[in-house]
Amino acid sequence: MMRETSTLPGEEQRSNGAGQHVDRRLLIDGQLLTTARTFPSLNPATGQVLGYAPDATVAEAQAAVAAARRAFDTTDWATNVELRIRCLDQLHRALVEHRDELADLTVAEVGATPALCAGAQLDQPIAIVRYYADLLRRYPMTEDLGNAEIRGMQHHRWVEKEAAGVVAAIIAYNYPNQLALAKLGPALAAGCTVVLKGAPDTPLVTLALGELIAEHTDIPAGVVNVLSGADPDVGAALTTSPDVDMVTFTGSTQTGRRIMAAASETLKKVFLELGGKSAAIVLDDADFTMAALFTAFSMVTHAGQGCALTSRLLVPRTHHDEIVVLVKNNFGLVKYGDPTDPQTYMGPLISEKQRDKVHGMVQRAVAAGATLVTGGQKVDPGFFYQPTLLTGVDPDSEIAQEEVFGPVLAVIAYDDDDDAVRIANNSIYGLSGAVFGSEERAIAVARRIRTGTFSINGGNYFSPDVPFGGYKQSGIGREMGVAGLEEFLESKTFARVLTEVPA
């Protein structure tokens, strides 16, 4: 069967020896490899094939795990701090030097805008690697607990931090550079070895990270392995392998539940960063203009494909109509379309499947009694969806309870602060949230919301040094910051009898 192939900017296609072409390669045990099968990656702004990625099989996943196991068990990677610092420095330098190439690929494959690449899509993820290289230089791997007299003898106690072992890291499509480097950076700093599996919708950008590691760092063979594949059995092989000590996953809560269940068979350590249905609360003493601007443009960031976005807008019943008009007007200012255009604020959804899901949820919300104020339409070509505002939303309805992952904002009216807190906490999720109002009152409300992160009057918490994660079914553990490093460490307690009693 003949097919058309495409070449990425600045890249020559590579043959896998079987007459097929791939645009990126797997990294397994220090070798850049292709596979017998490939699968296409689409440009979501056009719907056209961008390139082809190797379609890894379970056998390749098992080879990657074996390589990571061997590297952890037989090399000094886990104990050689100076080597790890040097390799993280090299990785950071390679990312900086190839930043523009990665940005072009991220725009083309992810549908991100250049402005997003200057932030959470690329430049902030690159800064994560710098952060962990620097943190490793000063992080204490040993804690002295001093002496204790037990049964007439002096005992000296201390705690040492050790790498958790072999890590399977599985990421989502929406911010692939962020998700990959927020796992790779601390895992490598801790001394772990890693098998990283990219999302099937955005394989090329993750494979590009693997190529940089192979070609521009001294990271030993097997320490980092990077896979792409469309077969869900590949991910299952990683989560169930007895040679994997820890699983870190970012994606849907539904998939997170399955991963947790699979990992329980071997009692693996599990870190999960899952879904969200975060609420933004506008108090009656807030600056409504600022709150409406923030919530509108935040909700359509990356076409709403962000787990921490505030997709529920809670407004005082007495000011409902006033705030809705402000949000609607702001949605009308959002320029969406070709993400390569510097004037574009919102790009496409990742796929036709995701767009159909979003559209279906909007249609069901309207059928259930919500009012469509603006938006609610697909835009072709590509996988675009209009910024969409719904009012009259029942707090218990699907659109208020389930993650949409699209540019859809549901407005819910409340009566007083207690009612707002109750509605905000009425969710299986607890990832993020926001509040607008006088500072003391806003902070008091924020402290009552059960989420892992919170923005007060537009405050931005997202940074390499700040822990990120959620309560309830939004996940387990924290990514980034010192807490992010410690997710990949184990603590070992030591004690020895002192033969000479201190004076």
| Residues involved in catalysis | 273
Bond preceding residue 381 cis, omega within 30 of 0? yes
Give yes or no for a contact between 429 and 275, defined as CB atoms under 8 angstroms apart.
Answer: yes
CA distance 61 to 180: 17
Structure-token pair, residue 236: 């299952």
- Tokens 């969710």 correspond to what residue? 427
Measured in whole angstroms, the distance separating CA 123 from the mean position of its chain's CA atoms is 14
Q: Which amino acid is at 4?
A: E
CA distances from 5 to 12, 20, 41 (A): 11, 9, 11
- Core vs surface per residue 316-338: b (16+ CB within 10 A) or e: beebbeebbebbbebbeebebbb
CA distance 84 to 485: 13
Number of H helices, E strands in the chain: 16, 26
CA distance 62 to 233: 11
Give me the residues paired with residue 22 across strands.
14
Q: Residue 85: left if φ>0, alpha if ψ -120 to 50, beta else—which one?
A: alpha
- Our CA angle for 256, 175, 57, nearest 5°, is 60
List the alpha helices (DSSP H) in 193-318. 203-216, 232-240, 253-264, 288-299
